[in-house]
A and B are shown apart, each in its own frame.
Chain A
Amino acid sequence: MTVQDAGRRGMLRFGVSGAGPMDPDAMRMANALVGNPADAATLEFAFFGGAIRFGDDRMVAVCGAVRDLRIGGNPVAPWQSHLVRAGQEVTIGAMAEAVWGYVAIGGGIGTQPVLGARSTHLRTGIGGIEGRTLQAGDMLPLGGAEPMPMRKLGAPWRVRSGAIHVVPGPQDDRFGATAVTVFLRGPFTVTQKRDRMAMVLDGPRIHAEMGHDIVSDGTLPGSIQVPGSGQPLVLLSDRQTTGGYPKIATIASVDLPRLAQMVSSRPFRFTAISQSRAEDMLIAHRDSFSRALAEVETAR
Chain B
Amino acid sequence: MTHPSTSTAPRILPAGDAALVVEFGDEISVELHDRVIALDQAVQTEGVLGVTETVPTYRSLLVLYDPGVIRGAVLAETLAIMAQKAGGRMQGSRLWHVPVLYGHDAGLDLDEMAKMKGMTTQALIALHGSVDYRVYMIGFAPGFTYLGGLPETLHTPRLTTPRQLTSAGGIAIGGAQACIGALPSPSGWRFLGRTPLRSFDPAREEVFAFRPGDMIRFHPVTENEATALDARSAKGEICADYEVAG
Contacts and interface: CB of A to CB of B under 8 A. Distances in A.
Interface of A: 9-16, 114-115, 123-126, 167-171, 215-218, 220, 222-223, 240-242, 247, 250-253, 274-276, 278-279, 281-283, 286
A279 B15 contact: no
B143 A167 contact: no
B1 to A, nearest CB: 20
Given A217-B60, A275-B72, A283 B13 contact: no
Interface of B: 13-19, 21, 23, 26-28, 52-60, 62, 64, 67-68, 71-73, 137-144, 146, 182-183, 200, 202, 207-208, 212
Contacts of A281: 17
A220 B64 CA distance: 9
Contact of A124 (B53, B68, B139, B142): B142
Given A167-B14, A170-B23, A250-B14, A15 B138 contact: yes
B183 A124 contact: yes
Contact of A282 (B18, B182, B183): B18
A24 to B, nearest CB: 13
Given A15-B138, A283-B67, 14 more contacts: A10-B52, A12-B53, A13-B55, A15-B139, A15-B140, A115-B202, A167-B16, A168-B14, A169-B15, A220-B64, A240-B141, A242-B57, A253-B17, A275-B17
B140 A279 contact: no
Contacts of A223: 15-16
Nearest to A247: B15
A261 B55 CA distance: 28
A14 B143 contact: yes
A15 B141 contact: yes
B72 to A, nearest CB: 5
Contacts of A250: 14-17, 19
B139 A220 contact: no
B140 A241 contact: yes
A79 to B, nearest CB: 26
A192 to B, nearest CB: 21
B198 to A, nearest CB: 13
A37 to B, nearest CB: 19
B88 to A, nearest CB: 18
Contacts of A217: 21, 23, 55, 57-60, 62
Contacts of B142: 11, 14-16, 124
A47 B246 CA distance: 55
B16 A15 contact: no
B57 A15 contact: no
A170 B71 contact: no
A240 B64 CA distance: 16
B17 A13 contact: no
Contacts of B64: 12, 220
Contacts of B60: 217-218
Contact of A13 (B72, B73, B138): B138
15 contacts: A9-B53, A10-B52, A10-B53, A15-B139, A169-B14, A169-B15, A217-B57, A217-B59, A218-B60, A220-B15, A220-B19, A250-B16, A250-B19, A251-B16, A282-B18
B140 A240 contact: yes
B73 A218 contact: no
B137 A216 contact: yes
